[in-house]
Amino acid sequence: MNQPFLPLLVEPAELEAKLGASNLLIVDLNRAEVYAQTHLPGAVRLEYVDLTLSNPPAMGLLPDAKRLSDVMSGIGLTPDKHVVAYDAEGGSRAARLLWTLDVIGHRHYSLLNGGLLAWQHEGHRVEETPTTAKKSIYKVALQDHAVADKTWIARHLKDTNVVLLDARTAGEYDGSISRAARGGHIPGAINFDYVGAIDNVHHQRLRPVEGIRHELMELGVTPEKEIAVYCQTHHRSAHLYFVLKYLGYPRVRGYPGSWSEWGNSPDTPIE
């Protein structure tokens, strides 16, 4: 069996050894001012909002195939490219791109463990000059295996084979902090704040996987279940989606509308 070009979670030193490879596409999801100051060599910048569609009050929705085709073509994606995504905010922006790649069926990707923070801390080379993407023609076909929309969630509320995993803070989950017309959580959802998977002591890398796995198993989030993750706009939950994939959970979905849609819909049940 051929070894993958890079592992799903790639360390800075592993990535540095591959810099300049013709099939490597490094994508920076940081804000423009951060990218202008420093970024990985050869990294092209992608505006985070280009990965989302807003239909207020629902935010963070999945754009259609035409728009995503334009976005992916704009960064120079081709079927042979291995994408490495990173940011400077714990990986959630980068993870939203990787979830989107799953949705369009592009399987060759990695998350840079620790992102820009770990890269810089370890003294790897950076650039200030922006990299101009070599635009491509990438035709997107949306697939539904990684997506849970509002209808899917409603249909599976009482499905014992499905776990709804809420990546928000405890206050948002219990409704004491409300960021929608109604506070609370989707009935039956289990709370696991996504920051619990991040090790800030070690430059925003993922915590050791066995600790994360144990905590999820204790909550009843087990691999034989189908897991649907959500937060406010599928920003934080995109990170949790990646974590579950990295842990080997075979069936994971992301709810792009998340609480901005569910909590603002008058006909949806809440707890």
In tens digits, what is the pLDDT along the chain, a chain of 271 residues? Answer: 467 899 999 999 999 999 999 999 999 999 999 999 999 999 999 999 999 999 999 999 999 999 999 999 999 999 999 999 999 999 999 999 999 999 999 999 999 999 999 999 999 999 999 999 999 999 999 999 999 999 999 999 999 999 999 999 999 999 999 999 999 999 999 999 999 999 999 999 999 999 999 999 999 999 999 999 999 999 999 999 999 999 999 999 999 999 999 999 999 999 9
CB contact at 8 A, 176 and 136: no
- 40 lies in a domain? yes
245 and 172 in a single domain? The answer is: yes
Is the pTM of the predicted complex or chain greater than 0.75? yes
* Domain CATH for 207: 3.40.250.10
161 and 109 in a single domain? The answer is: no
- 222 lies in a domain? yes
**Phi-psi domain of 6 (left: phi exceeds 0; alpha: psi -120 through 50; beta: other):** beta
How far apart (Å, rounded) are the C-alpha atoms in residues 44 and 21? Answer: 15
Q: Which residues are catalytic?
A: 231
Instruction: Tell me the residue range of the domain where 195 lies.
Output: 150-262
CB contact at 8 A, 36 and 143: no
- Total domains present in the chain: 2
Pairing of strands 198-199, 109-112: unpaired
pLDDT at 2: 63
